């Protein structure tokens, strides 16, 4: 599982941390694994001290372009919506069964390949 970080390192254990913004050296020291991913621009914005810390401590940094806002609908409901749609149910029927707005159901079905989901204050990739 991957945690997306804006300003503070979330509690919990993750395989990879994805930096959406440049972190301070103090926050980088809280990361408990050795894998980090970020966009090219985020890597450029890291301070020289932070880059040196990552290099000295053998962090593996991968460059990823993972655009877009994460989904805030629970993963279980997303899967239910997709299954119901594939079984032939209409958007209105799925809306009534799951208690989601029709526009959200439509978005979930049209963008079923979305890879980021918001879980509390933490963004995870699936």
Alpha helices in the chain (DSSP H): 25-28, 40-45, 48-56, 75-86, 91-98, 102-110
**Dihedral of the CA atoms 112, 115, 117, 122 (nearest 10)?**
180
Q: Using pLDDT thresholds of 50, 70 and 90, give the confidence band for residue 89.
A: very high
Over residues 4-26, the pLDDT tens digits come to 666 667 777 778 888 888 888 88
Mean pLDDT over each residue of the chain, to the nearest integer: 82
Domain boundaries, the chain: 2-63, 75-114
pTM (two decimals): 0.54
| Res. 39: pLDDT tops 60 | yes
């Amino acid at each position: 599982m991957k945690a997306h970080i804006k300003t503070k390192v979330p509690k919990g254990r993750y395989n990879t941390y994805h930096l959406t913004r440049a972190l301070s050296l103090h926050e980088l020291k809280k990361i408990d694994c050795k894998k980090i991913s970020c966009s090219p621009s985020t890597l450029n914005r890291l301070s020289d001290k932070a880059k040196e810390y990552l290099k000295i401590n053998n962090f593996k940094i991968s460059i990823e372009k993972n655009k877009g806002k994460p989904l805030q609908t629970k993963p279980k409901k997303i899967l239910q919506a997709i299954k119901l749609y594939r079984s032939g149910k209409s958007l209105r029927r799925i809306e009534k069964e799951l208690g989601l707005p029709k526009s959200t159901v439509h978005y979930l079905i049209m963008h079923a390949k979305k890879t980021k989901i918001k879980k509390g204050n933490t963004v995870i990739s699936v």
